[in-house]
Amino acid sequence: MTYSISQVAARFHIEPHTLRFYEKEGIIEPCRSKSGIRTYTEQNISQLEMAMCLKSTGMPLKEIKRYFDLVVLGDCTLDERLTLFQDHRVRVLEDMAAIQRNLEKIEGKIKWYTRYIEERKAQLELEGEEMPLAK
């Protein structure tokens, strides 16, 4: 089965120009009809899924391109591809740890504000006042 550029763009929630850019960068290589219209195969879809995964986890396009270049070269690059993924995994785990630390700070603020608001409301209630509303 083949897909048009608009079908693939819709499937991945991206713009067609993004697909053209990936093609220009050599990340994906869609087929062309006799009239020059791009058609995407299941293999292109699979490649795009991997490219989008790597991109969304912070891999630079240059490294994504390098991965696909290695795939084309065949089994003699298996070790290098494994290393590429292992290195990327380390970076992803570091990013996740940083996000977790930031989330903990955010959760701390939520707890602080929740507690403060409850205490403030209780204090105002004792004084016969209400919590002012934001304008």
* Strand, helix or coil for residue 25: coil
In a domain, 67, yes or no: no
Inter-axis angle of helices 42-56 and 16-24, nearest 10: 90
Neighbours of 59 (CB within 10 A): 20
Reported as a single tens digit per residue, the pLDDT across 13-55 is: 999 999 999 999 999 999 998 999 999 999 999 999 999 999 9
Report how far residue 124's alpha carbon sits from residue 131's, in angstroms, rounded to the nearest whole number.
7
Please tell me the predicted confidence (pLDDT) of residue 131. Answer: 79
For the chain, the domain total comes to 2
Report how far residue 11's alpha carbon sits from residue 5's, in angstroms, rounded to the nearest whole number.
10
- 92 in the same domain as 51: no
Structural domain boundaries, residue 32: 1-58
Please tell me the predicted confidence (pLDDT) of residue 8. Answer: 97
Neighbours of 7 (CB within 10 A): 13
Please tell me the predicted confidence (pLDDT) of residue 89. Answer: 98
- 110 in the same domain as 53: no
Inter-axis angle of helices 42-56 and 5-12, nearest 10: 40
- Containing 70, the helix (H) or strand (E) segment is helix 61-73
- 133 in the same domain as 96: yes
- 99 in the same domain as 53: no
Supply the CATH number for residue 3's domain. 1.10.1660.10
Please tell me the predicted confidence (pLDDT) of residue 132. Answer: 84
Please tell me the predicted confidence (pLDDT) of residue 134. Answer: 78
Reported as a single tens digit per residue, the pLDDT across 77-101 is: 999 999 999 999 999 999 999 999 9
Reported as a single tens digit per residue, the pLDDT across 46-57 is: 999 999 999 999
- 124 in the same domain as 82: yes
Report how far residue 56's alpha carbon sits from residue 102's, in angstroms, rounded to the nearest whole number.
19
Q: Is the pLDDT of residue 5 over 90?
A: yes
